[in-house]
Amino acid sequence: MKFRKWLKEKLKSKNKNEKIQRDLEMENQEGNHTTNQEENIEESSLEDATRHMAFQRERVRIEKKEDRERYVRNCCEQMLEASNETESAKYEYHLITAYLNDMQLIENLTEEEKVNICGTVRKIQGLEEEQNVYKKNRSKLTVRQYNFAQRYQEDIPDVLNRMIENEKYREILKSDMRHLDNEKAALKMRKQDLLQEQQNIKGMSVIAFTTLLAVIVLILAFQILFESDVRLAYFVSMLAAVLATAGLFLKLKDSKEELNYTERCMNKAIGLQNRTKIKFVNIENALDYSYEKYNVKSAQELKRIWEYYLREREEQQKIKRNDQDLDFYGDLLIKQLRHLGVQDPNVWPQQCNAIVDNREMVEIRHRLISRRQKIRTQLDTNMKIMQDAKDEISRLVADHKEYAKEILEIVDSVERGA
């Protein structure tokens, strides 16, 4: 009784499948978008599939219990699997049918009904174009740089200004140190010149003193030899000696005073240079710390990163607003279509172009009809598998009545396991 009840249920399922198949054939006649070649391929594919699934009882030793049980279970499992595949195919078929009905409903809308929907679609199209433009703009920052700038976005403006000021001050200190180096070098050369000048004055003093002695000796010799009056010559010689000594003394004094002034200037320049170097080292350390912390090599690089970050942050905000607007108009389109009686309006925001572009609507319909033809092939295959399995079990019971009870028990156990 269970076996007959089970067969009856399968026959009912088969009748439903045959009804679906008839509907598919009628719809296929309405939308004749496939070629005879495609139909031949589908038929050959169906024959190949069923040929490989054929039951070969001659290879099974029915008298052996294990083989008999395995064979019957295999028939039942193939029938159950085909039944499940059929249910899935029917569900997919109903979805596609509803989809095609919605397409037909949208195409049959009046111009007045299309006005609001087309307006919403135009909004969605414009937003999608903007979104594509945003996606084409490649980021000039790495993910690490963007996240870092985002993390320190409150501090970077002040840090950047301070870094720029420190770099300018560093250049000023460099210039001051170069100026002090040049001034110190000039003072050092002047000091060497003054020291050389003092040596020259001392040499001139020796020469003047030697010359004076030579003149006195000559005057004395002249006086002895010629017994002449040489007082005037002594007077002139002494006057010349006094004037030369005074001139050399004043020159040496001025040189020493200038040397002392030069040394004071050198000490001052060295002091300024040391203080400048200390400031330079401090500002250099501060800049090195900032460069290390913000992973840059200069304030210009940090400025470039900050400007790129601000630009990309603004674009991210635009993308966020764009997504929000897309969600809003997508929901609006769903409400409008549902109000007009569309069964599944949720799929249309992603393909709203088909609402305003008839060519795209035709392409979608063609793809759906092609999918339904594949479902028909799948239904035919599974229905044949189910019928073959059912017929095989029926023949097995008829040919081996001595195992009929056992076979029906196997069938019942498979049904309970399912």
In the numeric block, which tokens belong to residue 144?
A: 């690490």
CA distance 264 to 412: 119
Q: Among 221-230, 251-260, 353-362, 405-414, which stretch is predicted with the lowest mean pLDDT?
A: 221-230
For 312-325, write each residue's pLDDT tens digit. Answer: 888 888 888 988 99
The whole-angstrom separation of Cα 125 and Cα 119 is 10
Read off the tokens for 28.
């296929």
Q: What proportion of the chain, given as a percentage, has pLDDT over 70?
A: 82
Q: Is it the case that residue 282 has pLDDT exceeding 90?
A: yes
Q: Which CATH number applies to 149-295? A: 1.10.287.620
Mind giving me the DSSP string for 315-365? HHHHHHHHHHHHHHHHHHHHHHHHHTT-S-GGGSGGGTHHHH-HHHHHHHH
- Residues 6 or more apart in contact with residue 26 via CB below 8 angstroms: none
**pLDDT tier, 227 (very low <50, low <70, confident <90, very high otherwise):** low
What is the rounded CA–CA span in Å between residue 77 and residue 83?
10
For residues 396 and 279, the model is more confident at 279
Give the model's pLDDT for residue 109: 82
pLDDT at 277 over 80: yes
Q: What is the pLDDT of residue 2?
A: 41
pLDDT band at 236 (very low <50, low <70, confident <90, very high): confident
Residue 245 and residue 205 in contact, taking contact as beta carbons nearer than 8 Å: yes
Please list, residue by residue across 272-305, b when 16 or more beta carbons sit within 10 angstroms of its beta carbon and e when fewer do.
Answer: bbeebeebbeebeeebeebbeebebeebeebeeb
pLDDT value for 77: 83
pLDDT at 63: 65
Given the structure tokens 């710390």, which residue do they identify?
A: 289
pLDDT at residue 164, as a whole number: 92
Rounded CA-CA distance 264/320 in Å is 70
Calpha distance 312→184 (Å, rounded) = 52
* d(C-alpha 91, C-alpha 371), whole Å: 13
Element (H, E) at 239: helix 231-294
Rounded Cα gap, residues 59 and 57, in angstroms:
5
The pair of structure tokens assigned to 338 is 């549902």
pLDDT, position 328: 92
Q: What is the CA radius of gyration of the chain?
A: 55
CB atoms within 10 A of CB 126: 13
Mind listing the pLDDT tens digit for each residue in 106-165?
888 888 878 888 888 899 888 888 878 777 776 677 778 888 888 888 888 998 999 999
Residues in the chain: 418
pLDDT at 38: 38
Domain boundaries along the sequence of the chain: 2-109+340-417, 149-295
Q: What are the φ and ψ backbone dihedral angles of 342, each rounded to 5 degrees? A: -70, 130
More confident site: 15 or 170: 170
The CA distance from 107 to 356, in Å, is 10
3-state secondary structure of 269: helix
Which structure tokens are listed for 24?
């598919």
Average pLDDT rounded to a whole number, residues 234-248: 77
Average pLDDT of the residues in 385-402? 79
Would you state the pLDDT for residue 389? Answer: 80
More confident call, 116 vs 418 = 116
pLDDT tens string 34-48: 334 334 434 444 444
What pLDDT, on the 0 to 100 scale, is given for residue 358? 84
Q: Is the dihedral of CA 145, 146, 148, 152 positive or negative?
A: positive
- What average pLDDT is seen over the chain? 77
